[in-house]
Structure 1
């Protein structure tokens, strides 16, 4: 069971305003993650999730006061639409216009193949606040858990900078993640590790590819450095050869022989050689 919450968000435009956002996330026995988020929204509601770290998202749904919205691209109140944009899976829902009034909605979706599965511990590793989000969130918390307290590891990252002090393990079922004063462009990532085997899931294809890239990255960097050095040496050698063959003065030829006897009384000739 994982639960999460958001409080106190306001927008800079009238396209999206989210005064608060709360939710529950349940990690199912097959490794799927079922999200149920409560959004307090002004104007238009919507969410986009970047692809690449899960297999699929299914079971999208939106409701207000227990009344389900209908999937439709008409843009009418009481409908929602699904679409893909810039390698993101997105949902947008529509409701009757209001004058700065706030409405409460429930957004549901299930992430398939989103957990990281390792022998040393399975991981919930999720960008809960995306860097391209157009509204700030001032305070948020997330509660994951499913093991003994001493078997859980948890941390947070803000803009890829680790902030472990914002993750607090409460008990075997609860970890609280707390962040504050998020601005446009900030990214907030949550990470919780629990013992391997609690869920019956295998590593997804994207995880295998990611781990393989991470494993060979040091060798690629080493090779890049080696070839850069080789290119530097080769370039210097090439410049030297170019100078040697074309840039310097031609050799003067054979050096004059040494004569041990004094010169004769004949008048000296006028000759000279310009040497390097």
Structure 2
């Protein structure tokens, strides 16, 4: 028999190291990062509303290689920008898209400048840009001046040091103390200007220079772009009273129409003597009773109450299991179907069949943790079934229910009309010189429709859906709900048989956990026959866990800093 030879462990490690060292350099290249050692900007205020700008940025590249850097100049609050040249490490660059050339897209907004250079790694590059800004100096309150974003908001690198120099005519004195927005800085006066110095500017932090001079010092009239804005503002102010009047007229007309409609369809209110009801006033199921108190929406609590009620009546059983998912990782519950759907109310049948029916037919067991995806599809038919049941009992008024649906449609259409009018008004006011008045009127009309829509919401909310008979029964169920609330608060006088007898109603009214805790705190410890655990019939803690889990899954499934703007800006970066 031949013995198998093996290499010593040390030789294996040595071979691996030699292999790694033999890999091409790109395999273990250093990580790429870069920052700006310096970011210097010089602004020279010239005559005829012009500003000469020179930017110089020194990048430190670590790792790489890097082959380009870019700058974008936004055309906001100015008439235009004239690019005069770009440099790389002090050398003027010709235009082009090859190394040691600069690519300039002058017709773009923002203007795009891209420096192309040979692959650079663990080294520095100094980029320069010269351009002239036309028509930026503009009016601000009772002064005029520049509000220039010298360092753009979009830059993915840190700036270790920035120096912004502003030169203005020597005979001028700023009307207010010049400021640099966006960075801590120091100011150094120079003849006919100022130097702002800032350190450690974080990535994507813009810096704006603001210098104001007395009105008439630099410009005789506002630049064209500001003159257009001022003209739009004047037109908007001129039309504002008409727009407000139109909005108020539309809103008032809608409110008057709603008031008239209400008077025409007003029904005498049923007067019911106040009182406390200590027992369920009729044989309504828990979900029916809760829906009677608010017949406009189905709550997750009503779904949970129906599950508990079906378990108590013997149609299903909850069994505590292990190995659920999501919120049920520690403990899950299996719903075991014990009977067919015969004898159930319609809303109970809808929920029962919806939970246990799959593509393979009616199942005998489902996990509670898997029901979150089914419940959204069941909420609408569940609500429709409850509505039909209350209509059949004579508790809901079919005509008023239909009228409320029409009011809901009208309310929706009102808001759908308001939104495009609002957008149209904003677009015309902000972007059109000739149609500012039309845009202002559109905004006024949108405001009037908003008033009408809010009025419709409030009107619909208070629209009675119950018949006089339904109001009487709702009042009694409200009294029973208050009785249960008081028992929970007082936690005295509780009787053991009430725990399960009233539990589905407490769950439907949204107080299932508080109801169970009240009995547990009073020392009641009955065995819950419809809730099984590995140890047998569930206790009070098991019941609390089941109620909480049921509430969670039904709730899951049911619907149920200061900155300053200015011209300039844009972006800057490298790659």
| Structure 2 residue runs without a partner (length 5+) | 1-30, 269-467, 469-575
The counterpart of 2:49, out of the listed 21, 26, 31, is 31
1:51 match: 75
Contact kept in structure 1, 2:56 and 2:126, CA below 8 Å? yes
1:18 match: 36
Task: Give the whole-Å Cα distance in 2 for the aligned partners of 1:215 and 1:16.
Answer: 49
1:240 match: 259
1:257 match: none
Matched, 1:188 2:207: yes
Coordinate RMSD, CA, aligned = 3.9
Residue range with higher mean Cα deviation, 33-42 or 59-68? 59-68
What is the CA distance between 1:91 and its match in structure 2? Answer: 0.7
Task: Give the whole-Å Cα distance in 1 for the aligned partners of 2:214 and 2:247.
Answer: 43
Task: Give the whole-Å Cα distance in 2 for the aligned partners of 1:220 and 1:129.
Answer: 39
Residue range with higher mean Cα deviation, 218-227 or 205-214? 218-227
Structure 1 pair 66–137 and aligned structure 2 pair: CA distance change class (3 A)? closer
Aligned length: 231
Structure 1 pair 37–130 and aligned structure 2 pair: CA distance change class (3 A)? closer
2:196 match: 177
The counterpart of 2:132, out of the listed 73, 93, 110, is 110
Superposed CA offset, 1:110-139 (max 9, x none): 112222268954412111222233333354
The counterpart of 2:110, out of the listed 80, 88, 110, is 88
Contact kept in structure 1, 2:46 and 2:52, CA below 8 Å? yes
Task: Give the whole-Å Cα distance in 1 for the aligned partners of 2:58 and 2:187.
Answer: 26
Structure having the higher helix fraction is 2
Structure having the higher strand fraction is 1
TM-score, with structure 2 as normaliser: 0.35
Contact kept in structure 2, 1:29 and 1:198, CA below 8 Å? no
Contact kept in structure 2, 1:146 and 1:194, CA below 8 Å? no
Matched, 1:67 2:109: no
Bigger radius of gyration: 2
What is the CA distance between 1:220 and its match in structure 2? Answer: 7.8
The counterpart of 2:228, out of the listed 209, 213, 231, is 209
Task: Give the whole-Å Cα distance in 1 for the aligned partners of 2:86 and 2:71.
Answer: 11
